[in-house]
Structure 1
Amino acid sequence: MLAICIPIYNQDVTLLIAELEKQIKGVNHPIEIVLIDDASQANYKSLNEPLSNRHTYIELKENIGRSRIRNLFLKYTSATYLLFLDCDALIHQPNFLKEYFQSIENKKLVVCGGRVNQKEPPNRSHYLNWKYSTLRESVSVEKRLQKPNLSFMTNNFLIERKTFETVLFDERLINYGHEDTLFGFELMKRGISIAHIDNPIFNGDIEDNTTYLFKTELGLKNLSTICKSIDNDPQFISSVRLLEYYFTIQNSFTLLVIRNIYRIGKPIIRKRLESGYGSLKLFDFYKLGYFDELFRKKNED
């Protein structure tokens, strides 16, 4: 059996479920849909609650975070395979589920399908998220296959149950970001290769620049926490481009220059990024400076 697992937070998933139900009718395999709401606002709950008449639907009283909620699905399904989808996903592939069953038949343990964005750029208030996601995260299957475990993302992936029980998401990571980076790394350490197929979801929720910057900062906080918890494991550092560069220049004059420019220019850089006119290089610089600030504070604690 396949369980389609969708963690929900402040999102109407009725269109996503309708498309999945349509595709389930065309697949000759047992499939269930399991939904867990991570303490969403009441208006979103009221939209999604009717789905409980047809599917497993759980509402949590308190928000438990992206890692813990994914592990929790094991409690509510006994399926052999779990297909995780983000709640803001839209499915445009008519054979989306059939493609994953082909991977199951080929006995793949972990499979990523990928993600695509709208081709037309949004207005400037949502430009940063769209540009970064389009140019850095919406990667073709050919590029993902070059570094399979470093291209893992949680928004659209299939995993065999026993494998998932062996490599759970790290529940110490409560906030947003990089739980997928650590999960892919843990799979790699155990010699479990991630298969990649051309079966993308459509990213249906482009965030405004201010929200996206805030979530980026949360992700960098998680990344700093991960580094400390694994004693700056060289393998992990080499798997994240920002970390690899940071630790290369850590004791150099270059970092001192970056640190001073960031300290003085942070408000101006942030304002530029929030306006939607900042380049990805400026965004990279902001992330590097922000991470350096976090990392030094953690080492002082």
Structure 2
Amino acid sequence: MISIIVPVFRNAGSALELVRLLRLQELPNDSTLEIIMVDDGSGDDSTSRLQQHEDEHVRLIALPRNMGRSAARNAGAYHAQGKFLVFIDCDCRPEGQRFLSTHLEVLRGGCVASLGPVVAPEGDDAFWSRYQNEASARRARQHARGIFYSGSTANFAVHADAYRQCNGFDPRYIAYGFEDRDLLVRLSHMGRLGWCPEARITHLDALTLPGVLEKMRTAAGTSAELFSHDHLEAYRSLGYAELDVRLHPWLSPIATLTKPLLGAAPVVDRLLGQPWIPYRLFKPIVKALVAIAYMQGTTLASPGPAPRAT
């Protein structure tokens, strides 16, 4: 059996469309499918809407309060009955009907886990679509170079035994960022992580520059501090350490001087939506603002990394 875990937070309609598409997947004759939706304390009508679509193949786990993506995914995995676990975010869509089968081939071929590309909708040439596709291609290149923790668990399959043996996602990662990299580092110590280019998913989230900068600033806080504390070499190999004021205090004056530049984000964001704006012109500007936002996030005070639960 293959168990698919879909965390949901105030996005029931998108989750139900994903479930519909997952039901259409072509599976090997010896495989069955269960889909576990985890309502992460949405506090709206999501639970009742999702409950209406439960049946023998689709189950709902409703958490009493919002606990974050790590805890929500772990809750789904705890109730999963499958030999293989697949994680996919509810704002993503599998491309083609062999998405699950190709992940399964990688797992049955000797890999502990399988990762695949997260791309923009096909044919979309907007700025953020191109930016996202380049990021996905970069993850694939990093994986090929041996940085096996560079992928995204928005498109991720794993042997259930291995997932449970390494205690799944670390629930200390409550804020955005790095919970996937942390899990992948730990899994890479248990066996080979495969990259499955055929198992592609489309990411439908509408990105904005202010939103992206806020995510980077958030990720650079407690999440990055946890990750760098536990996996410093991995943190360095991914490139984030170069922007971390906690590791490089000499960056502090640069962070102070560049902080006002983030105020230009709304203006730049409006320009990004103009079709006549050359992508090559604004890509370095966006990358610079993303780096500044991350650097700013590392200057925020935090209580320090909590001990890992045993």
Q: TM-score range by the shorter chain?
A: 0.7 to 0.9
What corresponds to 1:238 in structure 2?
236
- The runs of 5 or more residues in structure 1 that have no matched partner are none
2-structure distance, mates of 1:267, 1:139: 25
What corresponds to 2:159 in structure 1?
160
2-structure distance, mates of 1:86, 1:71: 14
What corresponds to 2:6 in structure 1?
6
SS in 1 for 2:297: helix
What corresponds to 2:263 in structure 1?
268
2-structure distance, mates of 1:270, 1:3: 41
Is the Cα–Cα contact under 8 Å of residues 37 and 60 in structure 2 kept in the other structure?
yes
Q: CA deviation digits over 1:206-251, x for unaligned, max 9?
A: 2333333333322222334315753xx5313323312145479825
- The runs of 5 or more residues in structure 2 that have no matched partner are 273-281, 306-310
**TM-score, scaled relative to structure 2:** 0.80
Q: Do the aligned partners of residues 179 and 284 (structure 1) sit closer, same or farther apart at CA in structure 2, a change above 3 Å counting?
A: same
- The Cα of 1:112 is off from its aligned counterpart by 0.3
Is the Cα–Cα contact under 8 Å of residues 149 and 184 in structure 1 kept in the other structure?
yes
2-structure distance, mates of 1:138, 1:162: 30
Amino acid paired to 1:207? L
1-structure distance, mates of 2:29, 2:209: 40
1-structure distance, mates of 2:233, 2:84: 29
2-structure distance, mates of 1:36, 1:261: 43
- The Cα of 1:256 is off from its aligned counterpart by 4.8
Is the Cα–Cα contact under 8 Å of residues 112 and 153 in structure 1 kept in the other structure?
yes
What corresponds to 1:290 in structure 2?
296
Q: CA deviation digits over 1:101-129, x for unaligned, max 9?
A: 2123313211002211034244xxxx5x5
2:18 to 3, 16, 19: 16
Amino acid paired to 1:89? C
Is the Cα–Cα contact under 8 Å of residues 258 and 289 in structure 1 kept in the other structure?
no
Q: Do the aligned partners of residues 151 and 300 (structure 1) sit closer, same or farther apart at CA in structure 2, a change above 3 Å counting?
A: closer
Q: Do the aligned partners of residues 58 and 108 (structure 1) sit closer, same or farther apart at CA in structure 2, a change above 3 Å counting?
A: same
Q: CA deviation digits over 1:137-193, x for unaligned, max 9?
A: 3547455322342322110111111110122211111122111122222233x2533
Is the Cα–Cα contact under 8 Å of residues 26 and 98 in structure 2 kept in the other structure?
no
Amino acid paired to 1:259? A
Q: Compare the two structures and name the one with the higher helix fraction.
A: 1
Q: Do the aligned partners of residues 150 and 224 (structure 1) sit closer, same or farther apart at CA in structure 2, a change above 3 Å counting?
A: closer
Is the Cα–Cα contact under 8 Å of residues 115 and 138 in structure 1 kept in the other structure?
no
Amino acid paired to 1:291? G
What corresponds to 1:135 in structure 2?
134
2-structure distance, mates of 1:149, 1:228: 16
1-structure distance, mates of 2:50, 2:110: 33
Q: CA deviation digits over 1:57-93, x for unaligned, max 9?
A: 1222211101111111232122211011111111222
Amino acid paired to 2:181? T
1:145 counterpart = 2:144: yes
1:250 to 248, 251, 256: 248
What corresponds to 1:32 in structure 2?
34
Root-mean-square deviation (CA, aligned residues, Å) is 3.0
Map 1:170-249 to 2 at 5 A.
Answer: 170-188=170-188, 190-198=189-197, 199-227=199-227, 229-230=229-230, 233-246=231-244
Q: Do the aligned partners of residues 242 and 30 (structure 1) sit closer, same or farther apart at CA in structure 2, a change above 3 Å counting?
A: same
2-structure distance, mates of 1:266, 1:48: 43
1-structure distance, mates of 2:293, 2:229: 20
2:55 to 31, 53, 56: 53
What corresponds to 2:275 in structure 1?
none
1-structure distance, mates of 2:134, 2:31: 36
1:73 counterpart = 2:76: yes
What corresponds to 2:106 in structure 1?
103
Q: Do the aligned partners of residues 170 and 107 (structure 1) sit closer, same or farther apart at CA in structure 2, a change above 3 Å counting?
A: same
Q: Do the aligned partners of residues 72 and 291 (structure 1) sit closer, same or farther apart at CA in structure 2, a change above 3 Å counting?
A: same
Is the Cα–Cα contact under 8 Å of residues 38 and 69 in structure 1 kept in the other structure?
yes
Q: CA deviation digits over 1:15-41, x for unaligned, max 9?
A: 211121122577541221111111225
